[in-house]
Amino acid sequence: MDIDIQLIEQSKIDSVDFNNLNFGRTFSDHMFTCDFKNGEWTNPRITPYAPFTLEPSARVFHYGQAVFEGMKAYKDDNDDIFLFRPDENFDRINKSAERLAMPPVAEDVFFEGLKKLLHLEKKWIKKGLGNSLYLRPFIIATEGAIAASPAEEYKFMIICSPAQSYYGGDVRVIIAEKYSRSADGGVGYAKAAGNYAAQFYPTSLAHKEGYQQIIWTDASTHEYLEEAGTMNIFFRIGDKLITAPNNDRILDGVTRKSIIQLAKDNNIDIEVRRVTVSEIKDAARVGELKEIFGSGTAAVINPIKGFKHDKDSFELADQENSYARFFKEKLLNIQYNKSEDKHGWRVKI
C-alpha cells in the first residue's frame, strides 16, 4: 500500500509539557486519513494534524454513523515501540462498523497506516511506565446527504495524543436505577460515538450528587451490574474475582479479557457470570466485598472506593494485597516489555 506523506514543517513537540498532560487535549504532529469511495478504501495519506472540512449535511452529524477505537503505543528502555493486542482493536472496530451499517476498514489500511504514523511520531512516545501515545482510530460517514440511510462515503482516520499514567483520584459511583447506556438488541457492544453521548447526561447528574461515575445495569431490570462508566467492571468477593459475561449491551474490552486470562495464569479464582446488585450489597454488608474496579485501555485499572444504590451507600476498605494493583502491574509489565509475554500480546512496531 502506498501512503502519501506530507510532513509538517515545524514540529510542535518542543512546546508540549510532557509532565503536565491533560488526557486527550494534545495531539501529535501528524494524522492518518483514508477515504471510502465507490465501494473501496482509497487515497491513504499522512498529513499534518489539522482541521478539515465536511459538508454540513455529512451524515455523521445527523445520523451518528461514527465508531472508534482506543489503543496505546508504548516505548521500552531500548526505544522499541509496542502495541498491545492490536488485532483485537482491528476486529472490534469492524464489528462496531458492521452494527452501524458502515464498511469495514481494510486490514492493510488499518495496520500500515498505524505503523507508518507511529514511525513518524516516535518522539511523541515517551519512555517510562505510564507514559504512552494514545491512539484514536475512527470511522465517520462523510457523504453529504440528509437522507436517513447509510452513507456511501466515509473517512477512516488515526490521531495520536500523548498520555501520562492516569489517576482520576478516588472514584465513587452510583448504580444506575433509571438510566441505561445500552439495551438488548442495541449498540452497547459497539464502540459507537453515540453510546458516549447517551451517557453524558446521567453521568452529569451523578456528578451533582458527588459521584464520579455510574455503574450501568441491564436496561430491563436494573438488577445486573454490567459496566463502570466507560470501563468494564470487576468485583472481588472474598478472594474470588467476578465479571459480567459479554452480551450485546456490554463492550468486549481488551483489558477485561486480558485480566481474565491473567487471573487464570496466576491461579486467581475468576468467575465470568452475571452479578446482581443485591449480591454486591449483601457482600458489602458482611465485609466480604473487597474490591470493585473498572478496566479499560486509558486508565488500565481504576479502583472504585465506594458506591451508592437506592438509599444505601458503601465504602470499601483499602486492601493490602489488592487485585487492582496486582493486575495493573502485570499488564503494565507486559505492555512495556518488562516481563515475559507468554500469550504474544505485545506487538513490536
Ligand X SMILES: *Cc1c(COP(=O)(O)O)cnc(C)c1O
C-beta closer to ligand X: residue 143 or 226: 226
* Residue 15 DSSP label: G
Other beta carbons within 10 angstroms of residue 149's beta carbon come to: 9
Residue of 34, 135, 219, 251 that binds ligand X (CB under 6 A): 251
The single-letter code of the amino acid at 113 is: G
Say whether residue 29 binds ligand X (CB under 6 A).
no
Piece of the chain touching ligand X by CB under 6 A; list 40-48, 103-111, 159-167, 248-256: 248-256
Region near ligand X per CB under 6 A, out of 98-106, 149-157, 246-254, 318-326: 246-254
Question: Which residues are paired to 310 by β-bridges?
Answer: none
Q: Which residues inside 300-339 make contact with ligand X, applying CB under 6 A?
A: none
255 binds ligand X (CB under 6 A): yes
Residues between 220 and 239 with contacts to ligand X, criterion CB under 6 A:
227, 230-232
Copy the grid coordinates of residue 240: 474470588
SS3 5: strand
d(CA 111, CA 179): 37
Cell numbers at residue 34, please?
A: 483514508
Identify the DSSP state of 298: T
- Per-residue binding letters, 73-112, with ligand X (x by CB under 6 A): ----------------------------------------
**Which sign does the torsion angle of CA 154, 113, 28, 346 carry?**
positive
Nearer Cβ to ligand X, position 35 or 91? 91
What phi-psi label fits residue 185: left (phi over 0), alpha (psi between -120 and 50 degrees) or beta?
A: left
Q: Which three cell numbers stand for residue 38?
A: 465507490
CB of 93 to ligand X, least distance (A): 11
Q: Given candidates 256, 290, 328, 346, which one binds ligand X under the rule CB under 6 A?
A: 256
Q: Considering the complex, what minimum distance in angstroms separates the CB of residue 335 from ligand X? A: 12
Q: Which of 32, 66, 70, 102 binds ligand X (CB under 6 A)?
A: 70
Phi-psi region of 39 (alpha: psi -120 to 50; beta: other; left: phi over 0): left
Q: Classify burial at 250, counting beta carbons within 10 Å of its beta carbon; exposed 0-12, middle 13-18, buried 19 or more.
A: buried
CB of 85 to ligand X, least distance (A): 8
Under the criterion CB under 6 A, does residue 72 sit at the interface with ligand X? no
Closest separation between CB of residue 41 and ligand X, Å? 24
Given the rule CB under 6 A, which residues bind ligand X?
70, 191, 227, 230-232, 251, 253-256, 295-297
